[in-house]
Amino acid sequence: MKSTTTKIATIITALAFTGMIAAPAATYAVTATTAPIEIKVRVSEKGFIDDKGKPYTAKNTLKIPQGTPVTITFVFSEDMTSLAVGDTHQIAIQSNDGWKAETDKLWIMNRQASIAFRAGENGQTHYRAYCMLDCIGMEHLTNLFIEVV
């Protein structure tokens, strides 16, 4: 009986040890093969708009898997009015730990600008995008929340 118990304990120990060695490799393999995500967000005086034409809000957030390389391209989509010709936006993304990145200025002559980062790279759990400039609709350009899931 003691011999059977010893054999079972040895097998369990061996399996546990093998699992500890294999687990980091499996985690790395999943992380290493995570496909980059490219997201386009329209920017106008009405706010940040998703690909379905719906404004981003606290309830309609971007959700990005942990460790995923992501490029968010902000697209100037103002209606062509006299005000839009002179309107300029510059978007910043800031994480909960203070990391921050900024786009080039968006306007009629530079209609797209991107920010690339790895979601949750340094333990970040969420980000917020906002317009840094005093612009038309600035009160609506503070509502893009990005969650790391």
pLDDT in tens, 117-149: 999 888 888 999 998 887 777 777 887 999 998
Q: Which residue has the higher pLDDT, 55 or 32?
A: 55
Please give the Cα distance from 63 to 66 (Å, whole number). 9
112-118 sheet: strands from edge to edge: 47-49, 37-44, 69-76, 112-118
How many Å apart are CA 87 and CA 136, to the nearest integer? 7
User: pLDDT grade, residue 1 (50/70/90)?
Assistant: low
The residue with greater pLDDT, 80 or 106, is 106
Residue tagged 């969420």 (tokens): 126
Q: Give yes or no for a contact between 112 and 74, defined as CB atoms under 8 angstroms apart.
A: yes
Helices (DSSP H) in the chain: which residue ranges?
Answer: 2-32, 82-86
CA distance 127 to 5: 52
* Stronger pLDDT, 82 or 89, i.e. the higher one: 89
Q: Is the pTM of this model over 0.85?
A: no
pLDDT, residue 3, reads 59
Over pLDDT 70: what percentage of the chain? 72
Among 87, 64, 92, smallest CA distance to 76 is for 87
Which residues does residue 131 pair with via DSSP β-bridges, in sequence order?
A: 91
Q: For residue 86, count other CB atoms closer than 10 A to its CB.
A: 11
**How high is the pLDDT of residue 79?**
66
Residue 81: the pLDDT is: 59
Rounded Cα gap, residues 97 and 94, in angstroms: 8
Domain coordinates in residue numbering, the chain: 1-33, 35-148
- In the CATH scheme, what is the code of domain 35-148? 2.60.40.420
Higher pLDDT residue, 24 or 48? 48
DSSP strand pairing (100-102 vs 91-95): antiparallel
How far apart (Å, rounded) are the C-alpha atoms in residues 55 and 137?
Answer: 13
Average pLDDT for 8-25: 44
Quote the pLDDT of residue 28.
Answer: 31
